[in-house]
Amino acid sequence: MNIVTNNQIINHSIKITVNARDLHEFLGVKTQFSHWITKRISKFDFQKDNDYIVIVKKDQNSTGGRPEADYHLTSSMAKELSMLENNEKGKEVRKYFIKLEENQSGVARVHSPEDQKAIDEKNKEDFYNKISTLTQDDMLYTVSDIVPDTPCKTARELNILLAKLGIQQRVNGVWYLVPELQGYGYEKIKSVTRYGEKEYYMVFTSLGLDMILNKI
């Protein structure tokens, strides 16, 4: 199915989202997009920042009118809108999003703290040690670097503790600061090539290190 989806933070939760324009096109809706989406939202009482978010495209309206707005819908809203069209395309979209949600839930279970024992600890520690050497010159700190200053014995234990303290959350296998702590210079996102594939990871600045140690 040629519909691009993303993971976005909506109402402090990670949600699978789809651009409403892409959904409108795939479903083959005859009504003009702006009329279709606004009427659906109004009629079925979808809530902004809960069922969808709006991103305004600045300086992209060539006619001189209002800038275009993109509606990014949660998978739940996209499924409901699709079924309202009452056609085969709608059924196809619904099945597609159900599958995505199942896959996302599966990933979450595999990487939950309760299941971390199933992960090869040696490989993970080797990986953290590798990225640690990449950040020393920049005064950036990996979780492994911070472990000796905490009650934790391993990077895994510290990651779990930081999550319990509401400092970070895991998205698609990568730890990120929670939205409330982003944008304050506490962290940077880096990448490293591992087994031929690029992987992303978070490192902490000196400000981030101080913030963590003050909360523990």
Answer whether residue 135 shows pLDDT above 50: no
Task: Give the predicted TM-score (pTM) of the model.
Answer: 0.48
Q: Torsions phi, psi of 9, nearest 5? A: -85, 115
Q: What is the pLDDT of residue 107?
A: 44
Measured CA distances, 6 to 76, 79, 115 (Å): 14, 15, 25
Inform me whether the pLDDT recorded for 115 exceeds 80.
no
Task: Give the model confidence (pLDDT) of 42-64 as tens digits.
Answer: 988 899 999 999 988 665 555 55
- How much is the pLDDT for 124? 52
Say if residue 120's pLDDT is above 50.
Answer: no
Give residue 194's pLDDT band: very low, low, confident or very high (50, 70, 90): low
133 or 90, which is more confident? 90
pLDDT of residue 20: 94
**Chain mean pLDDT for the chain:** 80
